[in-house]
Structure 1
Amino acid sequence: MFSYVGLGVDLLLILLLISKKGKSLADRILLIWLIIIGCQLLLYALSLQTITIHNIHWLLGTSIPFPLLHGPMLYLYTAATTHMLPRRRYLLLFHFLPALIGILLFTPVFLLSANEKMAFIAQPANEYKTANFIRIVLLQVSGFVYVLWCLFLLRRHTTNIRQEFSYEEKINLNWLRYFIYGLAAVWIIIVCTRNDYYIFQTVVLFIVFLGYFGIRQVGIFTTARQAHHNMVIENHWQPAIAVEKGIGEDVDTSANTNAPQIQQEDDATERLPRKKYANSGVTAEMAMEIHKRLVYCMGTEKLFTEPDLSLYMLSQKIKVHPNYLSQVINEKEGKTFFEYINALRIEEFKRLVALPESKKFTIISLAYDCGFNSKSSFNKNFRKVTGLSPSDYLQSIGLEKDPDAAL
């Protein structure tokens, strides 16, 4: 009965995905994956019926390749969601070799007559014990490798968004991490119990989780990266920055008295690996010019108060290639783009909260004015930058402790 419920949920999710407008590559991969899971659930439901001479032809062994498909589909979905699929797409076919091996190992069984298949079920031939052992090993290795691989991709994704975005809401993919853990739980049950009843009970719950979060997934980097790729060519950004006219020339940074100042560690640059930018075209003079533009722009226009600020948006403003700007922030500030912008926001909050006219505002409203998207993001970044919670900091300077109350 539970398997039929899972089939119903799976079919509903398939219909929802088919009807979804503007499907991404990740959506299409998810659709194929849901179809594969639906087929496996259907075969399991049919296998619960009495096996007779009439249905033995297409029941025996047909489910063998399906468990070996979930690891590759998990990888494809994770890589597509994080935009980390390899450029040579034909290499993706190698991920399906274990499933093909599973089919080849049991091809002689598929070719048996109905009576021979009935005898095989009653007393499996000894020569297939080795084939079954290989299939189980492939399944266990597949589950272990793909779970670790996908967690590694998520780790890289987190690093990437901190280099390109000033916020994490809706793009941190924490839900996908829990999703991978869920599939890992299914594999653990497969390895430990080998009991179809418990396995498919877990699979049904997994389907609900997969569909709910998968269909709601947000396109990652869609705006920023697509805009970045649509730039004409890299030299459009005029690498010889020193000759450009505009913000960067003759900037009087001394007049920038209201710019939030971030305390820099003497060894900030040394903490960052220089090898990362060994082949960069940014000279020392260019880096100084870019940094001067950056500081001036942040001090005068306070772009860090824009909640959805990205590296690409900022690079357009100061007329420099995003890669160069990222390098300068990493080397000159000793921070990622995410850390740099949020540190500026914290400093701006500390400046605002000390003003007498800010007493009529709540702490959270001031945090929003500084560019934070949520209370949790503000609290997390405030503690990371200052070593104190917002409440403790307010108490230390003699202000109201309740962050939801006016000062």
Structure 2
Amino acid sequence: MQIPFTPLVVVLLAVVAQAVFAAGLLWLAPANRLPNRFLALLMLAIALWLLDGFFREANIYGQNANWYFAPIYYSFAFGPLLYFYVRSLVNHDFRLQRRHVWHFGPVLLQAGLYWWLRLQPYSTRLWFWETVHQPYTYRVEFIGTWVSLTVYLGLSLRLLQQYRRWLPDNFSEVSKLRLQWLRVLLVLVGVVSAQWLLEVVLREFFGLYYAYDYSTELLGVVVFLVGVVGLRQADMRAVRFEPELAEQELAALELQPVSTPLAVPTLPLQPDATPAASLVAEAAPETTAIQATATTATAAPVADAAVVARIRQALEQERLYLNPTLTLAELSAHTGLAARLISFTVNNGFGQSFNDLVNGYRVAEVKRRLATPDARRLTLLGIAFESGFNSKTTFNRIFKQFTGTAPRDWNAGVAE
């Protein structure tokens, strides 16, 4: 058997080899174990689909017809594996259960068909190709794969969008948890889906096969991107996002009776520190005021002032904001308040997300430190790290968000 090593053949072979190698690394990776295994299976399924493209481009089918119906087709797994990867990545507690098996029913039938055909003599496979596969099952497989991929892509995008809305209310540091690369990956899968639709239209209505087919090449780009970036994904063990539970908790909080807030007690602060509350107000005055009364029965729910005071104490006096990875769950454990009560209070009492509230204190701490003579002892980045930030990029972005000025420009103004 001779293989013409054209550029496309070489690229396809290289991508398949890279996908298999990266899938092995993902399968053995200690962090994000379950999502990484879903991702590894997705890479293998795509790699085998690309192997079919390699066989066609290298004329292996033409040189040996026995390679037809090799059990390398698992395209109905693309969509479910992608969706369950996203679902398990944003929820460390997720486990695959018996009720999820039906998602993989089509690929089990697809795999069963090809493995059965592989065990049949060539005459049976030839008959199946001419009388069943070419007029019927090939169409079902090709169109069905596009439908499955598109549906699960939509579910994945919706889940990712819900997760990105939930994230700022539960984490004070989100730069490594925003899954920006995954968003890019899903958009690229959307491009593959659009190209696949074009191929369906050309095949069904114009009888054009492999004339304008680029889905194989695009899938190669997808699997290459996954292989390069997937292993670099941050540890997501602290993330437990369940959209159904989040919606139930939000509904429960909205149904809580409206109470008139009590007077907020004045908290003792460190004698050498400017009151953090006033600094936060200076950093973001429009977001730190607490609503005093509920004007009507239909007004927005008012947070309990005692809960507001306890959160202020944890942040101002106990300085929990200095923990660079502070989460809503950690604040809940520290204060003894329910996480959903803290979330409700932060949103309705402080008028901010949890992320903005904590970062407001961090920005205020940086500004306080820059105004002291001791500021010369550390670099600007060193002060940021001691104030609760854990990356230069995040610090620059957050500081400018709250002050409208880049940290270096602010520091220059203070020095003058």
Instruction: Provide the residue aligned with 1:312 in structure 2.
Output: 329
Deviates more, 1:21-30 or 1:131-140: 131-140
For residue 172 of structure 1, report the CA deviation from its aligned partner.
1.8
Indicate the SS of the match to 1:166. Answer: coil
- Code of the residue aligned with 1:4 in structure 2: it is L
Q: 1:218 to 1:10 in 2, by over 3 A?
A: same
Matched ranges for 1:50-89 at <5 A: 50-51=60-61, 55-56=65-66, 59-60=68-69, 66-83=74-91, 89=97
CA displacement 1:159-208 (0-9 Å, x = unmatched): 33322211013222112112222323333333335749743333333222
What does the per-residue CA deviation read over 1:288-326, in whole Å, with 9 as the maximum and x for residues that have no partner? 322212212322232212212222222232232323222
**SS of match in other structure, 2:344:** helix
Provide the TM-score with structure 2 as the length reference.
Answer: 0.71
> CA contact under 8 A between 1:68 and 1:142: conserved in structure 2?
yes
Superposed CA deviations along residues 360-401 of structure 1, whole A, max 9, x for unmatched, are 544333222221122221222223223444355556xx335x
Partners of 1:379 and 1:10 in 2: CA distance:
36
Instruction: Find 1:288's aligned residue among 305, 314, 320.
Output: 305
How far has the Cα of 1:19 moved from its partner?
4.0
Which residue matches 1:10?
Answer: 19
Give the number of aligned pairs.
361
- Aligned to 2:191, what secondary structure does the other structure show? helix
Contact 1:72/1:96 (<8 A) preserved: yes
Partner of 1:260, secondary structure, is: helix
Does structure 2 conserve the Cα–Cα contact (< 8 Å) formed by 1:260 and 1:348?
Answer: no
1:83-162 → structure 2 map (5 Å cutoff):
83=91, 89-99=97-107, 114=122, 118=126, 129=135, 132-162=138-168
Q: Is the 8 A contact 1:68 1:98 kept in 2?
A: yes
Q: 1:24 offset after TM fit, Å?
A: 1.3
**1:352 aligns to what SS in structure 2?**
helix
- 1:337 matched to 2:354? The reply is yes
Q: Do the aligned partners of residues 6 and 166 (structure 1) sit closer, same or farther apart at CA in structure 2, a change above 3 Å counting? A: same
Alignment match, 1:253: 267
Structure 1 position 144, deviation (Å) = 2.8
Residue 269 of structure 1 contacts residue 331 of structure 1 at CA under 8 Å; is this kept in 2? no
SS of 2:178 mapped into structure 1: coil
Question: Which whole-Å CA distance do the structure 2 matches of 1:127 and 1:18 have between them?
Answer: 34
The answer to whether the 8 Å contact 1:311/1:326 transfers is: yes
Look up the SS of the partner of 2:155 in the other structure. helix
Partner residue of 2:35?
A: 26
C-alpha contact 2:291 2:349 (8 A) present in aligned 1: no
CA distance in 2, matches of 1:164, 1:4: 44
CA distance in structure 2 between the aligned counterparts of 1:13 and 1:275, rounded to whole angstroms: 54
Deviation of residue 103 (structure 1)? 7.7
State the TM-score, normalizing by the size of structure 1. 0.72
Does 2:52 align with 1:46?
no
**1:26 to 1:207, Cα distance in 2 relative to 1, 3 A:** same
- Amino acid across the alignment from 1:334: G
Unaligned runs of 5+ in 2: 1-9, 200-208, 242-263
| Structure-1 residue corresponding to 2:250 | none
Deviation at 1:338, TM superposition (A): 0.8
Judged with a 3 Å threshold, the aligned counterparts in structure 2 of structure 1 residues 134 and 22 are, in CA distance, closer, same or farther, namely closer
Which deviates more from structure 2 when the two are superposed, residues 379-388 or residues 85-94? 85-94
Which AA in structure 1 matches 2:104?
Answer: F
After superposition, the Cα gap between the structure-2 partners of 1:4 and 1:268, relative to the gap in structure 1 and judged at 3 Å, is farther
Equivalents in 2 of 1:188, 1:92: separation in Å?
27
- Rounded to whole Å, the distance in 2 between the matches of 1:178 and 1:74 is 13
Separation in 2, partners of 1:111, 1:268 = 76
Paired residue for 1:375, among 392, 396, 400?
A: 392
Cα distance between partner residues in 2 of 1:90 and 1:265: 49
Matches within 5 A, 1:91-240: 91-99=99-107, 114=122, 118=126, 129=135, 132-192=138-198, 195=210, 198-220=214-236, 222-223=237-238
Give distance in 1, aligned partners of 2:227 and 2:117: 35
**Aligned amino acid, residue 49 of structure 1:** N
Shift of 1:82: 0.9
Query: Identity of counterpart residues, as a percentage?
Result: 23
Cα deviation for residue 79 of structure 1 reads 0.8
CA shift, 1:118, in A, is: 4.9
Q: Distance in 1 between matches of 2:357 and 2:234?
A: 25
Distance in 2 between residues matched to 1:197 and 1:6, nearest whole Å:
18
* Per-residue deviation, 1:75: 0.5
Cα pair 1:71 1:143 within 8 Å, conserved: yes
Q: Superposition RMSD on alpha carbons, in Å?
A: 4.1
Instruction: Tell me the alpha carbon deviations over residues 130-151 of structure 1, each in whole angstroms, 9 at most, x when there is no partner.
Output: 6555544433333333223222
Is 1:348 aligned to residue 361 of structure 2?
no
Query: Alpha carbons of 1:187 and 1:300: their partners in 2 closer, same or farther (altered >3 Å)?
Result: same
CA contact (8 A) 1:348 1:370 kept: yes
Q: Secondary structure at the match of 1:253?
A: coil
Instruction: Read off the aligned partner of 2:43 and give its amino acid letter.
Output: L
* Alignment CA distance shift 1:269-1:137 (3 Å): farther
CA contact (8 A) 1:3 1:200 kept: no
Comparing 11-20 with 366-375, which one deviates more in the overlay? 11-20
Is residue 290–residue 349 contact of structure 2 (8 Å, CA) maintained in 1?
no
Alignment-derived partner of residue 399 in structure 1: 414
Shift of 1:341: 0.2
Which residue in the other structure is 1:243 paired with? none
Deviations 1:316-341 (A, max 9, x none): 32232323222222221111211110
